[in-house]
Structure 1
C-alpha cells in the first residue's frame, strides 16, 4: 500500500531538504508509484522512462500555456520552428565561438573580482551573453530582461501556499520589450532569419515577438540552472556528488543535474496507460528528473531536452555552452573555494543552485 503522504507534490511547500536534494523522493515515486494520480491536483505524475518517452510523442497530449511558442499553427511550426531547428543545427561553429567568448568574459570578470557568486557571475551570465549576441540585445537591457525571465520560470512550478509568482508582469515586460526590439533591434543573423521568414509567409507580429521572448527566456533560465548545478557538482557541493557517471561527459551531467524535474502536459483526449486511464483535461507531469537517474536507464540519452516535436530547439546550443564552461573551469576548480553555503531554489519541479559563493586562491588566466 502506497503512503501518499510520503510522496512529493502535495499542496504544501517543498521544503529545504527536497530543494537541496529532490532525488530520493523522485526515486521513491518512480519505484513505488510510477503512474501516480494526485486527486488533490487532478493530475498524473509519471516516472517510468518508457512511459515518459511514449507520452512525449503522444499527439493526444497538449503542451501547457507558456511551455512553448504561443503560435501553434501549422504555418508557424512548418516555417519558423523548422527554420530555427535547421539554423541551430548548421550554425554550430559560430555558436561555439560565441559560447567560448561569453565564458572567457565571465571568468575574466570573476578573476578581476577575486571572489563572487558563481551563479550570478558565471552560470546565468554565460547563456545571457550568448542570447544577447544572437538577438542583438544591448548589455544595459539585460538585468530587467533576466528578472522578467525568472518570473516566467517561477510560474512553471506547481502551485503551493507561499509560492512566489510574477508571471503576468513578467510576460508583459518581455512582450513590450520585444515588441520594440522586433521593429528596431539590430540585424543579427538570427534576427535576419526570423524577419525574412515573417516577410515570406506573412506571419503576424505577435507570433514573432513571442518567438524572441521565448528564445531569450528559455535560452537563459534553464541553461543557466543547468550550469549552476554542474558548478555545484564540480566544487563538491552538488547533490550526491559521488553518483556514478563520468564528469567528462555532458550527457552524464545533464542526466544527473536536470534543472527541470518534470515536463508538463495536458490530456486533450483519453489516454490509456496500462491500468491508468488519463481523462481529457487532466494534467500530466512527466518526471524526467527521476527517470534520468533510474539505474537501468543510465546508459541511455537523458530526457532533459524532451523528445518528439517539442524537443528543445536550443539543445545543441546548451550543450555547447556547457562544454565551453567545462573546458574553461575544470582546470581551475582547485583554485576555487566555497566561502559560504550553496543555496537551492525551493520548488517542486525546478532544481537549481541559486547561490554558490566562492573565493579564488592564486591567479589564473581566463584564457
Structure 2
C-alpha cells in the first residue's frame, strides 16, 4: 500500500456543504460521498474530517495517539477564551481534557451515573412521562396542534438531569432556556452576536450554580451537586472551584438537548411507519429500536472535543501529519456500509457493532445509559397514550453540525 496525503476535495469545502440548508434536511449523501472519495478529508478550515466507522472508532479508542490539545495550545487556538466565558468553558471542558485530569474528573462525576442511581431514576422517568403526555394528550384531543419538541422532548430529559444534579423544579424551565444559547458556541458559523448571547447564558447559569453550590454546602442532599461540593471541600486537590463550575456547566448543557433530539428523531421514525411501533411491545424490542434510532439519526453529528495527532498516523491509506486537528463525523460513521449492511435502512433487527453516537474509549458518554432508558420509557408510553398521533407539518431543524437538533416538531391527532 502506498501512503498518500488525503485527496483534496474540489470547492466548496465539505464543511461549507454540511452547513447548507440542503444538508440540514439530509446530510447523509454528503457523508456517503466523503466516505467513498475522501474518507479522511483535509478541510480548508484546518481539520481532517474522518468519516469511516473503523477510522472513527480507532481515533476514539486511541486517545494516546489523538489527545485533546494541551491547555496552552487551546489558548492559542481560542484567544476568544480570554474575553468570552463561553469559549473558556469550551476550552476547559471535560470532553476536551486529557489524562490524568480527565481520569480524575470523570471518576468524580461518574458517581452520579452509577447503575444503581440510574435505575433509581426509572420511577421518576415514568412519572414525568405520564405527566407530560397527559398534558399534551388533553390538548390534542381538543383538536390542537402541539409542538412535541417543546412540550415533551425537551422537558423529559430536562427533568431527569435536574433530578440527578439537584436543580429544584421551579428553576428548571428558566435555566433550560439558556441551553440553546450556550450550545451556539460550538457552531463553526457562530456570529459575534451568538457568542455574546452564549456568554450571557453562561454568566446567568454560573451565578445560579454559585448559589446552588453554597446551598448544598450548608445543606447537603442526595444529589450530584452535593457529591461534587463534598469532593471540592475535601481539600485534597481533586476538584477546584473552576472545575466544579465547569462540570456543572457540562452536565446541564449536554444533559438534555442531545437526548431531546434523540426523542424527536425516534418519534419521527415511529410516525413515518406505524408498523415500527410493534418493536415497542417488548423490553428487548424497545432497546433495539432505541439503539437503531441512535445509529440511524445520531443527535451529535460531529464528536465533541478537539483531537490532534500526537505523531504522524495512518488512517486507511491516508497519512495524518503530527499536530493536525482531527474531527470525527459520527453521522457518517454510523452509516458506513462496511460496518452496517444497507445502512440507510432503519432496521432494529440488525446486528453489527455498537453505534458511535455516544463515543467510545475514555470519552464514552457517562449519561448514555440514562439517555437510552428515558427514551425507551417515553416512547412506550407515548405509543400507548397517543395511537392516532401524526405530523401536523414539517419538523423544523435548527442546524446540521455539530448538533442536528430541532426547533419544533408539530403534531396532531388523525381524525
Structure 1 residues 326-337: aligned runs within 5 Å: 326-337=379-390
| RMSD of equivalent CA atoms | 3.0
Give the equivalent residue in structure 2 for 1:269.
Answer: 310
Distance in structure 1 (CA, Å) of the matches to 2:338 and 2:37: 16
1:293 to 326, 335, 344: 335
Verify the 8 A CA contact 1:119 1:354 in the aligned structure 2. yes
2:366 to 313, 324, 327: 313
Give the equivalent residue in structure 2 for 1:169.
Answer: 200
Distance in structure 2 (CA, Å) of the matches to 1:73 and 1:32: 32
Q: SS in structure 1 opposite 2:11?
A: helix
Structure number with greater Rg is 2
Q: SS in structure 1 opposite 2:272?
A: coil
1:16 to 16, 21, 45: 21
Q: Deviation per CA, 1:130-154, whole angstroms, max 9, x where unpaired?
A: 1222222233322332232212222
For structure 1, which runs of at least 5 residues remain unmatched after alignment? 238-245, 363-367
Verify the 8 A CA contact 2:307 2:325 in the aligned structure 1. yes
1:303 to 344, 351, 356: 356
Verify the 8 A CA contact 2:18 2:30 in the aligned structure 1. no
For structure 2, which runs of at least 5 residues remain unmatched after alignment? 1-6, 70-88, 274-284, 341-351
2:215 to 184, 205, 215: 184
> What is the deviation of 1:2?
6.8
TM-score (norm 1): 0.85
Q: Deviation per CA, 1:54-87, whole angstroms, max 9, x where unpaired?
A: 1112324344762842894867544442143354
Cα 1:232–1:84 change in 2 (3 A) is same
1:66 to 87, 90, 111: 90
Verify the 8 A CA contact 1:13 1:160 in the aligned structure 2. no
Cα 1:205–1:328 change in 2 (3 A) is same
Distance in structure 2 (CA, Å) of the matches to 1:75 and 1:195: 21
Give the equivalent residue in structure 1 for 2:378.
Answer: 325
Give the equivalent residue in structure 2 for 1:204.
Answer: 240
Cα 1:308–1:73 change in 2 (3 A) is closer
Q: SS in structure 1 opposite 2:313?
A: strand
Q: Deviation per CA, 1:16-36, whole angstroms, max 9, x where unpaired?
A: 221111111111111221011
Distance in structure 2 (CA, Å) of the matches to 1:13 and 1:83: 36
TM-score (norm 2): 0.76
Give the equivalent residue in structure 2 for 1:225.
Answer: 261
Q: SS in structure 2 opposite 1:284?
A: strand
Structure 1 residues 16-55: aligned runs within 5 Å: 16-38=21-43, 40-55=44-59
Distance in structure 2 (CA, Å) of the matches to 1:334 and 1:124: 21
> What is the deviation of 1:122?
0.9
Q: SS in structure 1 opposite 2:357?
A: coil
Q: SS in structure 1 opposite 2:19?
A: coil
Cα 1:75–1:302 change in 2 (3 A) is closer
Cα 1:159–1:300 change in 2 (3 A) is same
> What is the deviation of 1:41?
0.3
Distance in structure 2 (CA, Å) of the matches to 1:337 and 1:205: 48
Give the equivalent residue in structure 2 for 1:243.
Answer: none
Distance in structure 2 (CA, Å) of the matches to 1:347 and 1:194: 34
Q: What is the number of equivalent residue pairs in this alignment?
A: 354
Distance in structure 2 (CA, Å) of the matches to 1:189 and 1:348: 33
Give the equivalent residue in structure 1 for 2:10.
Answer: 4
Does 123-132 or 74-83 show the bigger shift?
Answer: 74-83
Does 162-171 or 17-26 show the bigger shift?
Answer: 162-171
Give the equivalent residue in structure 1 for 2:135.
Answer: 109
> What is the deviation of 1:352?
2.1
Give the equivalent residue in structure 2 for 1:240.
Answer: none
Give the equivalent residue in structure 2 for 1:123.
Answer: 153
Verify the 8 A CA contact 1:13 1:162 in the aligned structure 2. no
